Amino acid sequence: MTVSFRCTTRTGMPKPQLFDLARSIDAHEESMAHSREKAVAGVTSGLISLGEEVTWQAWHFGLPLRMTSRITQMETPNYFIDEQVKGPFRKFRHVHEFSEDTEATTMIDQIEFEAPYGLLGRLVEKLILARYMQKLIESRNLHLIADFTH
Confidence band, pLDDT 50/70/90 cuts, at residue 115: confident
Torsion angle (degrees, nearest 10) of CA 130, 94, 106, 12: 100
Confidence band, pLDDT 50/70/90 cuts, at residue 118: low
Give the tens place of pLDDT for each residue, 53-76. Answer: 999 999 887 888 999 999 999 999
Q: What is the pLDDT, as a whole number, of residue 150?
A: 45
Lowest mean pLDDT among 44-58, 83-97, 135-149: 135-149
DSSP for the chain, written as a single string: --EEEEEEEEESS-HHHHHHHHTBHHHHHHHTGGGT-EEEEES-SSB--TT-EEEEEEEETTEEEEEEEEEEEEETTTEEEEEEEESSSSEEEEEEEEEE-SS-EEEEEEEEEE-SSHHHHHHHIIIIIHHHHHHHHHHHHHHHHHHHH-
pTM higher than 0.75: yes
Q: What is the pLDDT, as a whole number, of residue 123?
A: 67
Output the CATH code of domain 3-149.
Answer: 3.30.530.20
Mean pLDDT of 89-97: 95
